[in-house]
Copies of this chain bind each other. A is one copy, B any other.
Amino acid sequence: MSKKLTKRSENYSKWYNELVVKADLAENSSVRGCMVIKPYGYAIWEKIQQELDLKFKETGHYNAYFPLFVPKSLFEAEEKNAEGFAKECAVVTHYRLKNDEKNPGKLKVDENSKLDEELIVRPTSEAIIWRTYKNWIQSYRDLPILLNQWANVVRWEMRTRLFLRTAEFLWQEGHTAHATKKEALDETKLIVDLYANFVENFMGISVLSGLKSESEKFAGAEETYCIESLMQDGKALQAGTSHFLGQNFAKAFDVKFADEDGKLDHVWATSWGVSTRLMGALIMSHGDDNGLVLPPKLAPYQIVIVPIFKSEDELNEISEYIKPLLSKIRNNGFSVKFDNRLNFKPGYKFNEHEIKGVPIRITVGQRDLEQKTLEIFRRDKMIKKNINLSEVYNEIEFLIVDIQNELLKKSQKFMNDNTNIANNYQEFKKMIEEGGFVLAHWDGTSESEEKIKKETKATIRTIPFEKNDSGKCIISGRKSECRVYFARSY
């Protein structure tokens, strides 16, 4: 933990890459594009999972598990979806290795084990799931089906980056089936709202939510709703999506249901997901030049206590001194780590916990024992103060709430400060260059969208759910019914 991080202002991208590794979150593996999620990073992911899982269950969803592999014939059934993912599919073609006679001790693929039909490692599971739903759905009584799965998926990305874009990543994918279009649309909205609520109130990250344009929506969807957040370098990051799939998959897999009058119709569908990419959003939203900054709700341990001692006797005295405090913290459901490692110096520990973003640090030295005091440090604002032992628990309770709130407020302020309204293309280009969201009029065509993207590298991040204003498209001058959010993005 000795070396300093690159400063964000020097090289934001380098800062990110270094931070992910130095904070022990993840690292590249010996498999191209695949990451190892290290224990500290995985513990944060588990917090994300637990909370989302609870929210899914509270809203009537159940977990299930579907196969990792999708036979090619199923994969290609929904053509747009297949087309969208075909270029990034890991393909299993054989099921056996054998000894390589020419290289003793080495193995080679056994050509006799070639599969009749190739298997695609799931890039997303609509195909395999809708093939399954076909057997489950006959009548309206079988609907709705509200399932989610926690799984790994593979998309063969050429340029990868830890958490943000990896060949294999972890995610949850919800797949629901409904009797009516309205129900499916309501579900799509319910989930995007659930995501927005979670990312704001649990992760402390301000988000916009809205619709994707035709060119940005999910392959195979009728409509994609999304949440978008703004990173500190002014680039947007898509943090979650919820898709209204219409009857596309039901038609591709011939899934019909009989309504109360016995009339047959295709089933309506949604799918939705968030992934380990959220870890990237977390790092880039809150991190600073000293490392990660964790909102208390996501911290593997919320409080760390670092004793300052010269001998084991002194350590024992400190251990006794903080014992009642430790119990009180734990009994009240907060998580605390007493960092009594002998092999590491306080300075090293401070640095480690700072870079790992532990929300609250408490330091106890010999003088504190005499004076009945402690030093308490809040990571988000890098502020420390001395406090009486008798007051520290109340201070902790306050900080746990306050740090969580302050991080969100800061994120909201950052998004507000970096969202500008452009009234013409000139302004637009200048604002995009400066970073952040730019609200501007757009005529609704892919043509104008493409032109803007080509010239400015900005894409439409969301189209607001509620029309805000009418006017003229910044590039075509044609009529626009709403200002939409543009930004450069991850």
Binding site for B on A (CB under 8 A): 27, 29-31, 34-39, 42-43, 45-46, 62-72, 74-76, 79, 82, 86-99, 105-107, 109, 118-121, 128, 131-132, 135, 141, 147, 151-152, 154, 156, 168, 170, 343
Contacts and interface: CB of A to CB of B under 8 A. Distances in A.
A88 B96 contact: yes
B105 A91 contact: no
A80 to B, nearest CB: 11
A170 B29 CA distance: 22
Number of copies: 2
B93 A109 contact: yes
A72 B128 CA distance: 28
B72 A31 contact: no
Contact of A90 (B92, B107, B343): B92
Nearest to A46: B63
A170 B107 contact: no
Nearest to A30: B131
A345 to B, nearest CB: 14
Contacts of A36: 64-67, 132
11 contacts: A36-B66, A36-B67, A45-B65, A46-B63, A67-B168, A68-B121, A75-B97, A89-B97, A90-B92, A91-B95, A91-B109
Contacts of A118: 109
A43 B71 contact: no
* Chain A, interface SS category: mixed
A156 B92 CA distance: 12
A435 B224 CA distance: 58
A67 B107 contact: no
A29 B130 CA distance: 11
A463 B93 CA distance: 40
Contacts of A93: 91-94, 109
B170 A65 contact: yes
A109 B117 CA distance: 11
With a 10 A CB-CB cut-off, give which of A35, A45, A67 has the most chain B CB atoms: A67
A128 B31 contact: yes
Contacts of A65: 36-37, 42, 45, 170
Contacts of A156: 95-96
Contacts of A75: 97, 107
Contacts of A67: 29, 31, 34-36, 168
A391 B234 CA distance: 64
B76 A107 contact: yes
A105 to B, nearest CB: 6
A137 to B, nearest CB: 14
